[in-house]
Amino acid sequence: MIWVATAVTFVATVVVLMTLAVALSPGANPAVERLNRLWRPAFTQEDRFRKKQSERAQKVLRNIGNALPSSPKSLSRTTRMLVRAGYRQPQTAMAFRGARVLFFTACVSGVYLAGLHAENMFYLLFAGMVGVVGPDLWLSSRVGARQHRIRLALPDALDLLVVCVEAGLGLDQAFSRVSEELRIAHPDLSDELRLVNLEMRVGKSRTDAMRELAERTGVDDIKALVAMLIQTERFGTSIARSLRVHSDDLRVKRRQRAEEMAAKTPVKMVPVLVFFIFPALFVVVLGPAFINVVRQLLPMLGK
């Protein structure tokens, strides 16, 4: 039992140290990443090579996806998820279908070539399940990460919108200005606002463009902002006042969300305490006592 607890403690220590090393590395600092994007050349030789190889891979995946039968309902759902993840190219859905087929084939082939199916067919079924579910889980994680970044960037955008509108700019010019200001700090939300401006320039109404924004992102805070702007435009109330009230309401929601996460912290710490902290304490506190008991009992048992 002592060796098991010692091994668990050692593995936990290694995992914690590796996590700290990754978290404190220079590449994980958002400020460093933004400065690198700001000062790095716009298009280097390495970027050209990477883009060329990416285009070749996408072409192969699109050919595989086009060769497969598909239904319009599944394609529309996949396209919506890809757009929310930030992939807006027309052929991205077909490329994703091709990548899904290749991933499934690689998982099943790997288990089959390794010979694990001869021992138990469960390995082959598990590999097939991973090959089917894996790409969808990856896409869902990408969508969730992008929505989280947009949700974090929304308060800054609202503050800038309030400043621009109160300074005398129209809502269209305010969107354009905010998208330019957030280009480095929050590129995801900046791209979405820039796309709204482009849609309005080609003739789409402001209401339809903002509804498209809410549909593309899928963020509840964006949907609430779009509904508020549409209602304000419909009833002719002050946009600046409505934006300021909505900004204050969003700050309250962020504070409540932070309090909710803080309240969940003790519950999330229970598995860590049980599986990582308590075994180490038991080894340190009860280890010497257990050794002394064993030393006292062994001579008695030998007699």
Domain range for 245: 150-257
Question: In angstroms, rounded to a whole number, what is the distance separating the alpha carbons of residues 164 and 159?
Answer: 9
Q: In the structure encoding, which two tokens stand for residue 278, read together?
A: 């308590």
**Between these two residues, 169 and 35, which has the higher pLDDT value?**
169
pLDDT exceeds 50 at position 24:
no
CB 233 within 8 A of CB 207: yes
Q: Which residues contact 38 (CB under 8 A, 6 or more apart)?
A: 184
Q: Is residue 33 part of a domain?
A: no
Look at the chain and report how many structural domains it folds into.
Answer: 1
Q: What CATH number should be reported for the domain holding residue 252?
A: 1.20.81
pLDDT exceeds 60 at position 303:
no
Residues of the chain above pLDDT 90, percent: 4
Question: In angstroms, rounded to a whole number, what is the distance separating the alpha carbons of residues 283 and 276?
Answer: 11
Q: Which residues contact 143 (CB under 8 A, 6 or more apart)?
A: 81, 84, 85, 218
CB 78 within 8 A of CB 49: no
Q: Is residue 10 part of a domain?
A: no
Q: Name the pTM for this structure.
A: 0.71
Residues of the chain above pLDDT 70, percent: 73
pLDDT exceeds 80 at position 70:
no
Nearest to 7 by CA among 276, 270, 274, 273: 276
Q: Is residue 125 part of a domain?
A: no
Q: Is residue 68 part of a domain?
A: no
The tokens 């060796």 sit on which residue? 3
pLDDT, position 28: 47
Instruction: Tell me the C-alpha to C-alpha distance, in Å, between residue 200 and each of 80, 164, 219, 270.
Output: 21, 19, 21, 52
Question: In angstroms, rounded to a whole number, what is the distance separating the alpha carbons of residues 80 and 88?
Answer: 9
Each residue's pLDDT tens digit, 209-252: 889 889 888 888 899 888 988 888 888 888 888 888 888 888 88
Q: Is residue 87 part of a domain?
A: no
Q: Is residue 236 part of a domain?
A: yes
Overall average pLDDT of the 55-84 stretch: 68
Q: Is residue 187 part of a domain?
A: yes
Q: Is residue 35 part of a domain?
A: no
Instruction: Tell me the C-alpha to C-alpha distance, in Å, between residue 110 and each of 57, 65, 104.
Output: 21, 22, 10
